[in-house]
Structure 1
Amino acid sequence: MRRNRILLEWISVRQPAAEVYWKGQPLGSWEKIEARWRITGQRIRFSFRPQDRQKVAWISSIQSCSGGIRILLKEHHRQVVPDELEIRWGDADPDRVREPSDLWPCIRRWIRSEMPGCVVLSAERRSDRARTLSRRFLRVHVRDRGDDRLIMVAGADAPAELEGSMLTQGLLWFDWLRRRKRLPEPATLFLLAPGGRANVLYHRSRFLNEERVRSVIWEYEDPSDQPWQPRLASAPPAPEEHRDFKWPILGPFRWSAPLARVLDLAPQWIRRHPRFQEYDSLRILGLEFARVLGVHRDRICFGVGAQETELSEENFENLRALVNQILFFRRPDSPDSHHPCYRLQSERWLECLVLEDVPRLFPELVPEAVYSQIPVYLGKEPGRVDILGADREGTLVVMELKVSENPDLPLQCLDYWGRVTDHNLRGDFERRGYFAGIRLNRRKPKIYLVSPVFSFHDSTERVLRYLESDLEVWKIAINEDWRNGVRILARSRVKCGELP
């Protein structure tokens, strides 16, 4: 954060005439856009004025690029692909094709060595919002002796969260070319990721319908190494017992006098969630406001967001004030829908409402065997399933919740689905006391995609068309005003693997 602050101050002092481009469009000089920033907790809140309106967002990162820097901005934590504000004060040509980490020369040499005699039909990195294509990936369309190869490359400087969206981006690009009759079958999707960062890609690509699209995952090392030679990615290692697994303790809960005192502040609203062995999370309508630590759960830290304060007798009234503030603002008729206590962790709010009303919303599930935020492992790296349950026949159900449009919803849920499937086949859930009294079968779990009715991204079903045809995927549309109480408006099973 200190580096980012110094960079911003340096530009204001030394480069006030630098040219600014917002999503590729020129805005004028740095001085003209009236850039301002302030430090909030551990993040930087950035504002500027494109044309006649004020734009406010959080700085995700600041990256060096040819002739200047690139500021990546997110308006909220749910935004998957950050927007780009580019500041140029050097001799960079704004019209040239820009490649992640300047990889294009390496990619071009690699294509010529791997596919001699091929024709490069296109190479671009521009964003296309109408087709949900991000400019964070280099896209190269190659025709090699009658076969089409679509090559997508993530730069070494790409944020970690973008790697999860890479397969989604590749499928949307593939689908657009196919529908425009620019992609004769067969075609193959090549995805190149930085070394050591291809595990999620490899895992998700296992569930593609190979009759619809073939995918090959590659990894590359530092492009300064010569010769530059990507290698085929290998399967992520299976997690090992007693080394990689860290699971929440289901019970009995450990109690202490300080914990009981905190719970008494709002016993009807505070919920306790076990988070691994290290701590328990205390939440009000999904918003975490305190963590209970220690073997005896007798240490408590409180705060919303990155700021935490250890609870003591001297500051207990501060905690009481925080709880009252959350209860005041985190309600459907909140007096300020922009207040952090209302906006933060909206998906956890929806999750809380669903968990409180499982018998009515999902009568097919066993209500005593529905869990939230269960870690599921790919190697030693955990992901967290929003809700994991089992129906009355013992089939697992993987539920992913979104409160706003997100093109990565299908593949994110599929990612967790694959991990849940592996755990189930190994008997990991029963071994740890989950689903007690239920005899789980080893059939493939069901997938529930849950979102407000107008908040499913329009690409959701297009992505699902390229998955294995035997997946059981349900789109569950709920009411837009779900904070007033969740109602299921429609359930529809999506037929995976079927193209229009």
Structure 2
Amino acid sequence: MYINISETGSRKKVLSVRRPLQSGKKYATLRGGHVSSQIRERSPQPPWQLELSRQKEEIEQFALSLPAPALYQDGLKIGLLEELNFTLGFLGHRLLLCFQLRSRQVKRKIVDVRRQGSECLEIQAGHLNLSELFEIRSVEGATPLNFFKESRKKFQKYVEQLILRNFPKAKIIKSVVHTDLEHSISGKYVRLLFISGRNRWAALAANPLEDQSTLDGILSNGLIWREHLKLQESRPVGKLLLVVPVERGHVLKSRLRWIRGAGKEIYLMEMDTEKDSLVHVDIKDSGNVDTLLTQVYSLGPRIDLAQTETFKRVMSLASQHINPVLRTGSNCVSFRIRGLEFASLHVGSAGKLTFGVGKQEPVDTASDWNELKRLVDRIIGERQATPKSRRNLFYRLQAERWLESLIVPAIQIIDTELNPHHVYPQVPAFWGADRGMIDILGVTKPGRLAVLELKVNADIELPMQGLDYWLRVRWHQLRDEFSRKGYFHDVELSTDPPLLYFVSPQFCYHNTFPKIVKYIDPSIPMIEVGINENWRAGIQVVM
């Protein structure tokens, strides 16, 4: 294995050009298990450069600790670090991950590095507004990943036979099961091009071993692939086929009803691996989907919460930073700092207070209160618009909730037509067995419902997630459930379809966003809102 890590600048033109590093260079080389290093010191490094050096050292030391380190993406091995000529470099204020893939030199800007125990290091990277997740792990400890890889290969052969049996005179032109990084197509699906009669088909199939989110994501990947094929194939592919395991296509069915071309050019089929069958799904028949909207509770008549001693004591820890939020659909108050929950007051449990980020513990003793105070101080110190380090845990956690905490009290920054007096964050909405949270539910001044879907990182699934929540809101709207459940008190709601807002930093929209969103039924009013990249310091709409 050979690792050569150097700090260098770059003359390559990029979107945001900063001066290359001027401080000392550090090289570390490993050959045959022996490490040699050369360090040249010139001048004290600035804090951001020290942070990058620590990040680089963490990756370097972890790779050196493994007997056979390999690079993975999407659960599949790309190759051993030695085979890939894996290197780390610097470009401006970013650490670069670089490796050789066949004849291509791949470079990715590293956004974050996370240890997952002693056997895996996750590296979150960005490239052309894409968010990618790499892993460094020992190839010897990768049995589950190899299992998935082999399982997908076997499934590929199974799907090929299934197509040949179910489509008359079918001829398979191409069959692949690998990631297409350039076009943002996941390697979790089998992709087939085949001819049946006069029709040319593009088919994606999902293995029954995949989780539900992967199955639901097949539609976005299919639409992206279809758009790519339109540009690549000399003869256009006319039809798109999505194949999922039986009884696991409920979300897809609800989405496809609002996708242009569904039922004519885009089809859904369910496979039963026990019966070796492939059955066409009628998307017009979504069945009786069990959906639920939670009740809005009012604490006022039962207890003046702000006057309780526990409430006052929590707020006194840092009243100017703490925001008490009544959770929609419950009788629990969530205490948050810039969107991050650190404590909860359970009114129905005799005022029981719990604290912690993630798993919470009860506050019973003076020592517990002291620990709570230390937690609050740390969150305030780390969760700043301009932190000392962007790698701090509480800076990185729940960024979308941070964005939400800025939008909710100032909703008219997004659109002056939105009513600032009726804004509901994190509304639980159930669709069959799927439980989701609508980021923000609001209403315009004339009474039209509004759904706001927030994202702070590039996400292929943003259009479909927004569509899901719009469908749930529309479902309840048509049944007049919002008034009955306590939402929008004294507001006469319009029967017009809800507005769907996508809100994200301007350059964090995935480059596939327009390719997918154009397939959504135009009767759904969609508004794309681009905000400033440094939104933590104050939101501005720039697009």
Query: Size of the alignment, in residue pairs?
Result: 440
Residues 19/329 of structure 1: CA separation in 2 closer, same or farther (3 Å cut): closer
Amino acid at match of 2:398: Q
Aligned match for 1:415, one of 468, 483, 503: 468
8 Å Cα contact 1:199/1:236 also seen in 2: no
Structure with the greater alpha carbon radius of gyration: 2
Task: Give the 5 Å matches for 1:206-355.
Answer: 206-210=257-261, 214-221=265-272, 223=273, 225=274, 227-233=275-281, 235=286, 237-239=288-290, 244-252=292-300, 255=305, 256-271=308-323, 272-277=325-330, 279-293=332-346, 295-296=348-349, 298-305=351-358, 307-313=359-365, 314-355=367-408
Question: Relative to 1, partners in 2 of residues 1:85 and 1:336: Cα closer, same or farther, differing over 3 Å?
Answer: closer
Note the C-alpha offset of 1:251. Answer: 4.0
Q: How far does residue 308 in structure 1 lie from its aligned partner after superposition?
A: 2.4
State the Cα deviation string for residues 441-460 of structure 1 (Å, max 9, x = none): 22111111111111111111
Native 8 Å contact 1:289 1:302 kept in 2: yes
1:135 aligns with 2:196: no
Normalising by structure 1, we get a TM-score of: 0.78
Quick one: distance in 2 between partners of 1:250 and 1:125?
52
Counterpart-to-counterpart distance in 2, 1:351 and 1:379? 26
Structure 1 distance, partners of 2:505, 2:487, is 29
**1:312 Cα shift?**
1.4
Whether the aligned pair in 2 keeps the contact of 1:395 and 1:440 (CA below 8 Å) is yes
Q: SS of 1:349's equivalent?
A: helix
Where 1:433 maps in the other structure, the secondary structure is coil
Identity of aligned residues (%): 26
Assess, with a 3 A threshold, how the Cα gap between structure 1 residues 160 and 409 changes in structure 2: closer, same or farther.
Answer: same
Extract unaligned runs of 5+ from structure 2: 1-61, 87-96, 101-106
Aligned 8 A contact 1:189 1:213 in 2: no
Matches within 5 A, 1:36-55: none
Q: AA paired with 2:363?
A: L
SS, match of residue 407 in structure 1: coil
Amino acid aligned to 1:308 = Q
Q: Which amino acid aligns with 1:229?
A: S
Please give the secondary structure, in 2, of the residue aligned with 1:100.
Answer: helix
Q: Deviations over 1:190-240 (max 9, x none)?
A: 22223443222222111101289733223334x4x3x42244456263226
Match of 2:489 in 1: 436
Distance 1:330 1:117 in 2: 61
In structure 1, the partner of 2:240 is 189
CA distance, structure 2, for counterparts of residue 80 and residue 425 of structure 1: 37
> Quick one: structure 1 residues 59 and 249, their matched pair in 2 at CA, closer, same or farther if it must change by over 3 Å?
farther
Select 2:124's aligned residue among 75, 94, 100: 75
After superposition, give the CA deviation of every residue in 1:405-426 in whole Å (9 maximum; x if it has no partner). Answer: 1121111101111111111101
The residue that corresponds to 2:499 in the other structure is 446
Aligned-partner SS, 2:218: helix
Q: What is the rounded CA distance, in whole Å, between the counterparts of 1:345 and 1:467 in structure 2? A: 28
TM-score by length of 2: 0.72
